Amino acid sequence: MIPRYARPDMVAIWSPETKFKIWYEIEAHACDAMADLGVIPRENAEAVWKAKDVEFDVARIDEIEAVTKHDVIAFLTHLAEHVGSDEARFVHQGMTSSDVLDTCLNVQLVRAADLLLVGMDKVLAALKKRALEHKDTVRVGRSHGIHAEPTTMGLTFARFYAEMDRNKNRLEKARWEVATGAISGAVGTFANIDPAVEEHVCEKLGLRPEPISTQVIPRDRHAMFFATLGVIASSIENIAVEIRHMQRTEVLEGAEFFSMGQKGSSAMPHKKNPVLTENLTGLARLVRMTVIPAMENVALWHERDISHSSVERGIGPDATVTLDFALHRLAGVIDKMLIFPDNMLDNMNKFPGLVMSQRVLLALTQAGVSREDAYSMVQRNALKVWEERLDFRELLLADEAVVEALGVDAINEKFDMGYHTKHVDTIFKRVFGDS
């Protein structure tokens, strides 16, 4: 990923230096386990740890790989340069390249998931804070982009909180599912290496042994991991699109914070554009772009091929680095977001009283009017509000059939805004518990 959309902590997980360090730990721990089993001499296993503080030379490994055309062999050759050729002769005993590559990839994905969970916690904290702050801030709810009935800004934030909380749960499960390692040798039969070696390495690296590998860890695990990242990205876009709609000039119920010195347009000095949430919409597309290739990686020839390898070298860092950046950007947007309650009320009153149409309809049916007749009575008055911007309540009070069915006091009572917000506390308790 380009530095513009990357945070250093996540980038470091995917650096060549980190990768080779994990490869080294896998090999060194495997040597310890084989020494415990008496497969290799103890002194050889201990000799491998001479390289524990080494910063492996990426350029040197690349130089060796240019000849060997094999990345793991190039690394092992470089490791022997540090440990000593004779001392390192038992490194990689009974193992295959995928034992190193797949176990390393899953270590990286687990570490990436841990950083993503930190970002999700920041988003959840920001959403909860704004939800509580605006629990009773009334705004019009919209369906199909058209005024529907009143809701509150707090409920909007609470809805996004609940969605992100589900996503956190999904990510925790995806992290668990991908946290496996395999040190099972060629075609996964343990023919040349004891399963105890796999158990030892996995324990040291915070993984679980893969119950049955072929020559690779099954890629359905990775497909689920990247699919989960795609769902989280879609939720980020869901929030971003709502904020972008709220910032439209004709709406202006909320807006991104506009910092001192910020410029919205190179041509029009008056502009304040929702650039951060537009950026989040684009980043969400990039994350989702990795999902289909991850699913296509599930189907491999026989015990393995490497059609998945080139894909994962790209989508591993791309998806996690991008999503990590997006989560932290979203948390900042929500935390600093400007809310305009007066504009919310002004928007609701552009068509005075119209949002109460359903309540009047239900009252008419309860008063004995057929639903068809009640709908017609309400709609004929509602259309005048649409067409002439008249006051809906005044129109109803001037409609003899409506007054005869309900009475003046009952009509006026149907315009109490509190009717629509009476269960906000109940919803908040469902989302946030007693906090």
User: Is 147 known to be catalytic?
Assistant: no
Q: Which residue in the block uniquely carries the two structure tokens 């699913």?
A: 295
Q: Give the span between the Cα atoms of 156 and 277, in whole angstroms.
A: 16
Consecutive H or E run containing 327? helix 307-336
From the candidates 85, 144, 259, 270, give the one annotated as an active-site residue.
144
Q: Compute the distance between CA of residue 425 and CA of residue 431 in angstroms, rounded to an integer.
A: 10
Q: Which one is catalytic: 15, 265, 307, 376?
A: 265
Spatial separation of the C-alpha atoms in residues 16 and 45, rounded to whole Å = 24
Q: In this structure, which long-range contacts are made by residues 190-198, counting pairs with CB atoms below 8 Å and at least 24 apart in sequence?
A: 191/94, 192/93, 192/94, 193/30, 193/34, 193/93, 193/94, 193/95, 194/33, 194/34, 194/37, 194/39, 196/33, 196/36, 196/37, 197/30, 197/33, 197/34, 197/37, 197/94
Evaluate whether 228 touches 170 at the Cβ level (below 8 Å).
yes
Give how far Cα 227 sits from Cα of 72, 162, 284, Å.
29, 19, 12
Q: Catalytic residue at 97?
A: no
Helices (H) then strands (E): counts for the chain: 20, 6
Q: How far is 33 from 200, CA to CA, in rounded Å?
A: 6
Q: Are 399 and 130 in contact (CB under 8 A)?
A: no
The two tokens of residue 384 are 């005048």
Q: Which residues carry out catalysis? A: 144, 265
